[in-house]
Amino acid sequence: MLALQRKQSTPTHYLEIIPRTLDYQRDSEQITYMDTLQTFLSDSANPVLILDQATRTIHHHNRSAATFGKEELKGHLFEECFHVFGEEISEEPIVHIPEGWFTVHESDFIWDEVIYTKVECKPRAQSPNQEVLKGWKNMISVMLHRFRSPLTGVKGFLTMLEDENTDPALDRRLLSINSGIDRMFAIMDEMESIYQIDNLPTTSFELTNIDLVLSEVLSSLNPKQQTRVHVHGFGKAQSFKGPRTNILPIVQSLVNNALEHEVEAQAPIDIHVYANRFIQVVNKGTEIPERVSKNLFSPFVTSKADHIGIGLTLATLHAQQFGGAIVHKSDPGSGNIYFTLCFP
């Protein structure tokens, strides 16, 4: 059973001393102190909170309370307002706020002789932002435009040759060429599926029955594959927040990815469903090379010679559409590979 617990606070590696600066007011001879914490926070483009290190009470934050999902944050305990999920889900701690799923980075500093903890919510490095997605789409658009027209012309010419040919030996060669061209068209269709995904996420309050989704995913597998996939921890009519049109292709992609990269032909694929918040797909696999793991959700990254590597890209883009995320972790000790779909 998955234990959802907050990962322990990052140990203090250094103490950054933040002085209080003096501000002489012109209308008064009295010296007042300017709260430099606000200046310290304003330098960060990411959502940041300042906690009392000892009590973990929230003292300051650099965004509106709506950014963090609570009307009033100051004076509340951090753990009362946020649930940080650690190594049981991801290789680094993550938290959900209304802006999405973020990684959590904690560091300590001294201000006015008191030790505080800075909690910064940084965008996940593996999730493409809108600028990256726009770049992918521009590249794909050019590739589709450059390749489709010539291939269509070659396909038409081959059709003419097939109609005119009377040599059975040549028929076999033409069939092989046609097969290669059809594969090229199939690859372009896969690439176009990235191009068709909207740039901006949609706000959706739609609920999806996960039982029906899992049943459809399992029914799409062949009988041998079905016997290898085991589902744990879900109840009938259990619903998750998100559209079926997004959730179904994500789960299909994660299951197919697990089946394709399983090191043992008959080893089980486990799907764990947790408390309407996570769906985790686990398989036994070889350790993913660092050059691949760093760009795991980018297109055209794959260790398979016959794949173009966009399955996980499509999955993470579908997740972003409803405020979800996909995180990855591996356990060298057990040989398990984990992909977890996180819901808002």
DSSP 171-233: HHHHHHHHHHHHHHHHHHHHHHHHHHS-SS------EEEHHHHHHHHHHTS-HHHHHHEEEES
Residue 70, C-beta contacts closer than 8 angstroms, at least 6 positions apart: 76, 81
pTM over 0.75: no
In sequence order, the 6+-apart residues with CB closer than 8 A to the CB of 283 are 258, 259, 261, 262, 267, 269, 270, 336, 337
| 253 half-sphere exposure, CB direction, 13 A CA radius | 22
The span from the CA of 290 to the CA of 294, in Å, is 6
Predicted local distance difference test score (pLDDT) of residue 127? 65
Gyration radius (Cα) of the chain, Å: 26
pLDDT band at 13 (very low <50, low <70, confident <90, very high): very low
Of 307, 51, 19, nearest to 183 by C-alpha is 307
Higher pLDDT: 340 or 136? It is 340
Q: Is the pLDDT of residue 26 over 80?
A: no
DSSP 227-267: HHEEEES--TT-EEES-HHHHHHHHHHHHHHHHHT-SSTT-
- Give CA–CA dist 81/51, Å, rounded: 12
Tell me the pairing of strands 100-111 and 16-18.
parallel
Domain ranges of the chain: 16-123, 130-196, 207-342
DSSP string, 126-172: TS--HHHHHHHHHHHHHHHHHHHHHHHHHHHHHHHHHHH---HHHHH
Q: Which pLDDT value is given to residue 318?
A: 87
Question: Directed axis angle between helix 130-164 and helix 168-196, to 10°?
Answer: 160
Range 204-207, long-range pairs (CB < 8 A, 24+ positions): 204/241, 204/242, 204/243, 204/321, 204/322, 205/241, 206/241, 206/242, 206/243, 206/244, 206/322, 207/239, 207/240, 207/241, 207/242
Mean pLDDT of the chain: 78
- pLDDT, tens digit, for every residue of 281-333? 998 877 776 776 677 776 666 655 455 667 788 888 888 888 888 988 888 77
| Confidence band of 201 (pLDDT split at 50, 70, 90) | low
CATH of 207-342, one of 3.30.365.10, 3.30.70.3150, 2.130.10.10, 3.30.565.10: 3.30.565.10
133 in Cβ contact with 124 (< 8 Å): no
Whole-number Å distance between alpha carbons of 290 and 87: 18
Q: What architecture is domain 16-123? A: 2-Layer Sandwich (3.30)
On the question of pLDDT at 4 being above 80, the answer is no
